[in-house]
Amino acid sequence: MGEIKLMKGNEALAEAAIRAGVDAYFGYPITPQSEIIEYLSREATKRSGMLVLQAESEVAAINMIYGAAGCGKKAMTTSSSPGISLMQEGLSYIASAELPCLLANVNRGGPGLGTIQPAQGDYFQATKGGGHGDYHLLVLAPYNVQEMADFVKLGFELAFKYRNPVMILADGALGQMMEKVELPPPEPRRHIEFPWATTGKPKNGERRVITSLHIEPEKMEEINLRLQRKYKQMEEEEVRFQTINIEDAEYIFTAFGLVSRIALKAMELGRKKGYKIGWIRPITLFPFPKKIFEEVASKVKGILDVEMNAGQMVEDVKLSVCGKTRVEFYGRMGGVVPTPEEILDNFEKMFIKGE
Amino acid sequence: MELEKVDILVEDIVKPENLVYRRPSTLIDVDMHYCPGCGHSTVHKIFMEVVEEMGIQHDIIGVSPVGCSVFAYNYMDVDMQQAAHGRACAVATGIKRMLPDKYVFTYQGDGDLAAIGGNETLHAANRGENFLVIFINNAVYGMTSGQMAPTTIEGMVSTTSPYGRDTKTMGYPLKISELLAPLPGVAYVTRQAVNTVQNVRRAKKALQRALEYQKMGLGFCLVEIVSNCPSNWKMTPLDSNKFVQEVLIPYYPLGDIKVPEVKK
């Protein structure tokens, strides 16, 4: 068993980065995740030799990641909603140039400068590409502090497997709250020479060029097709989700991240009242766990999707069930967190009282 | 006048002992997309000569920008990364911090470096990032066909300053080298040109010095090269070089602006 500590989600993520042998962190302070760059500035370099650099902006930070990732190094950044918006250009380039990297969005309420309270309004941005062009990040949604830590190592494994940026989509509450977390033993930083990485032209080989520019349409289409094949492979191999009580369920509550815990509580309250409610938590938001929704669609009377936004993941749920069952949405926005009681109350209004 | 006929065979001309000019082995043997007479090809050549002469082809990583020189990686036979518009200094920071023992350079135009990338350039310089920035200043956006750049001089006509740059509404031409030189993280700043043979030789020397300073770990080195753009200036190559000499260089004077003290 690993070392057990009581930590904030942000700190757990930072500690996990040191233990995962990350080579470089480039970041810019923004609430509610500044603890990550502070923790790493304090701990990382002296313990693992990780480079920690406070960039002049999120724009610069993501481009530093491009440079470092292009050398085959494990490079990461973290930010919160407005900062992640600034990184979208860089992420589009990283996805197109097929470089591996990890970033975390500790989502706060928006739009605009918004609020520093937790929200899930960046689901579309995270899962549908976010920047220009047809690309996807692989998106992991933690629901507790343990997963804030676990998804760092997993994130890098997936990033290097697919040479694709991976995002941990958390929220302000997961970043700030303290929970028990079991930490893995530290891994040393690795030294691998990747054939695609620019580390100086090989003496017996061709130069390496990292670019997202392909002027000929046929070549650019070929790149696009390669990316799409990669996303298809992710859909086949990387889908992760968790279910509870779906075997006898007449209704499903679904939610990701922090809200999934509240929805789970709402499910328990509902079960006590005699409603046969099951629970599905998508863990990978891209690739989205379509099949499990497809499977339950023909067996249940309805699905209630709960989010801290105006209804974003619900679109993927609807696409997955393809009209086979009723899908309703309940959400709070702007940093407001729903309670289990209000979720159950709305469920009853929508599905039981026939309103 | 009738030329004296002499019997010279091609086979004689290409004999190594008769060779007076050749393409450096570090420059790839392909047609360049640059316009005839453009300074980019000259800078590419002299820089790749330096890389060849210093024997560092396998120990250098370059960053190409957005702009005319976006395709620099098609010509320079070294490992390269292509950066988003203006972000070359951030990308180079990522590379150099990961590979501190390698040589790293960016190759950027005036729009890329001084306009959209102003912040990345300033902060890389201020952190004293130990890499070389080659800054091609031809006072115009070349790739997008002739719009005003931050370095377009007063009164100069471009497609977005069709009546000449009016400093009252369009601001003043930016002297990046003078702006960055006072920063303590900056080791070496020089302004060169490639409009004459003499200037080409001086520019080459400056590029070599900058790489030597990088090896010594002295910090940020900037080699600005005042260049031409015959196509967008709508001039012949010869006239454009004259324009560099008579109009641009008086505003952007050539020579070293900051030189590090090197202990021998």
What stretch of H or E contains B107? strand B103-109
The closest alpha carbon to A172, from A255, A115, A241, belongs to A115
ipTM of the complex: 0.97
pLDDT score at B15: 84
Residue of B74, B81, B123 to mutate, testing the A interface (most A Cβ within 10 Å of its Cβ):
B81
Token pair, residue B59, equals: 């120990």
E strand or H helix that includes residue A86: helix A81-86
Count of beta carbons in the 10 Å neighbourhood of residue B174: 18
Answer yes or no: do B90 and A67 touch at CB < 8 A: yes
Tens-place pLDDT, residues B219-242: 999 999 999 999 999 999 999 999
For the stretch A46-96, pLDDT in tens is 999 999 999 999 999 999 999 999 999 999 999 999 999 999 999 999 999
CA–CA separation, B35 vs B229, rounded Å?
A: 8
For residue A20, what are the CA distances in angstroms to A23, A24, A43? 9, 11, 14
Asked whether residue A10 carries a pLDDT value surpassing 60, the answer given is yes
pLDDT, average across residues B129-135 = 98
Q: What is the structure's pLDDT at A354?
A: 67
Using beta carbons and an 8 Å cutoff, which residues of B are at the interface with A? 57-61, 63, 70-71, 73, 77-84, 87, 90-99, 102, 119-120, 122-123
pLDDT of residue B21: 82
Here the tokens at position B151 are 């370095």
Is B83 in contact with A63 (Cβ distance < 8 A)? yes
Residue whose C-alpha is closest to residue B79's, from A290, A168, A72, A165: A72
- The 10s digit of each residue's pLDDT in A147-188 is 999 999 999 999 999 999 999 999 999 999 999 999 999 999
Chain A contact set for B119 (CB, 8 A): 56-57, 59-60
User: What are the DSSP calls for B20-73, one per residue?
Assistant: -----TTB-SS---SPTT-HHHHHHHHHHHHHHHHT-GGGEEEEE-SSGGGGGG
In this prediction the pTM is 0.96
- Provide the pLDDT for residue B216: 98
Q: Which of A94, A199, A203, A207 to mutate to test the interface with B (most CBs of B within 10 A)?
A: A207
Is A120 within 8 Å of A143 (Cβ atoms)? no
pLDDT surpassing 70 at residue B264: no
Query: Which of A71, A93, A207 is opposite residue B99, by nearest beta carbon?
Result: A71
Nearest to B97 among A51, A60, A203 (CB): A51
Cα(A154)–Cα(B69) distance, integer angstroms: 38
CB atoms under 10 Å from CB of A339, counted, come to 12
Torsion, Cα B151 B155 B156 B161, to 10 degrees, reads 90
CB contact under 8 A, B123 and A200: no
Which uninterrupted H or E stretch holds B133?
strand B132-137
Name, in order, each residue with C-beta under 8 angstroms of B197's C-beta and a sequence gap of 6 or more.
none
Omega of the bond leading into B184 within 30 degrees of 0 (cis): no
Cα–Cα distance between A281 and A236 in angstroms, integer?
Answer: 18
Mean pLDDT of A338-344: 98
| Residue A184 DSSP one-character state | P
Integer Cα distance of A349 and A167 in angstroms: 36
Cα angle for residues B214, B219, B221 (degrees, 5° grid):
70
Concatenating the DSSP letter of every residue in B189-248 gives: EEEEE-SSHHHHHHHHHHHHHHHHHHHHT--EEEEEEE---HHHHT--HHHHHHHIIIII
Mutate to test the interface with B, among A51, A63, A94 (most CBs of B within 10 A): A63
Cβ neighbours for B205, distance < 8 A, ≥ 6 positions apart:
none
Distance CA A353, CA B146 (A): 67
Asked whether the beta carbons of B232 and B109 are under 8 A apart, the reply is no
User: Which amino acid, one-letter code, is at B141?
Assistant: Y
For residue B117, the distance in angstroms to the closest alpha carbon of chain A comes to 10
Mean pLDDT value across chain B: 95
pLDDT tens by residue, B100-122? 999 999 999 999 999 999 999 99
Q: What share of residues in chain A are helix, strand, coil (percent, to 5)? A: 40, 20, 35
Nearest CA to A76 out of A154, A188, A4 is that of A154
Reported in sequence order, the residue ranges of chain A that DSSP labels E, i.e. its strands, are: 3-8, 24-27, 51-54, 75-79, 101-107, 138-140, 165-171, 178-183, 209-210, 241-244, 251-254, 277-282, 284-286, 302-307, 326-331
Distance (Å, rounded) from C-alpha A150 to C-alpha A275?
A: 34
Q: Which chain B residues are within 8 Å of A210, Cβ to Cβ? A: 80-82
Of the candidates B79, B98, B120, which has its C-beta nearest A24's C-beta? B98
> Which residues, other chains included, contact B86 with Cβ-Cβ below 8 Å and sequence gap of 6+?
B65, B66, B112, B113, B115, B116, B117, B118, B120
Q: Do B82 and A97 touch (CB under 8 A)?
A: yes
Integer Cα distance of B36 and A46 in angstroms? 54
Query: Can you give the C-alpha Rg of chain B in angstroms?
Result: 19
pLDDT given at position B263 = 76
What pLDDT score does B219 carry?
Answer: 98
> Which residues of A lie inside 8 Å of B (Cβ-Cβ)?
23-24, 26, 51, 53, 55-57, 59-61, 63-71, 73, 75, 89-90, 93, 97, 198-203, 207-213
How do A284-286 and A241-244 pair as beta strands? unpaired
Report how far residue A22's alpha carbon sits from residue B72's, in angstroms, rounded to the nearest whole number. 31
User: Is the Cβ pair B93, A209 closer than 8 Å?
Assistant: no
Q: What is the mean pLDDT of residues A204-215?
A: 97
A8, pLDDT greater than 90: yes
What are the distances in angstroms from CA B185 to CA B130, B177, B215, B218? 9, 13, 15, 9
Q: Residue B8 — pLDDT band, cuts 50, 70, 90? A: confident
Chain A neighbors of B63, CB-CB under 8 A: 67
Sign, CA dihedral B36-B42-B48-B52, equals positive
User: Which pLDDT band, with edges at 50, 70 and 90, does A323 fall under?
Assistant: very high
Q: Hey, are the CB atoms on B90 and A59 less than 8 Å from each other? A: yes
Q: Is A343 helix (H, G, I), strand (E, B) or coil?
A: helix
Find the mean pLDDT for residues B179-192: 98
B13 Cα distance to chain centroid: 32
HSE (side-chain half, CA atoms, 13 Å) at A197: 20
Tokens of B262: 């090197």
Of A64, A89, A210, the CB nearest to B93: A64
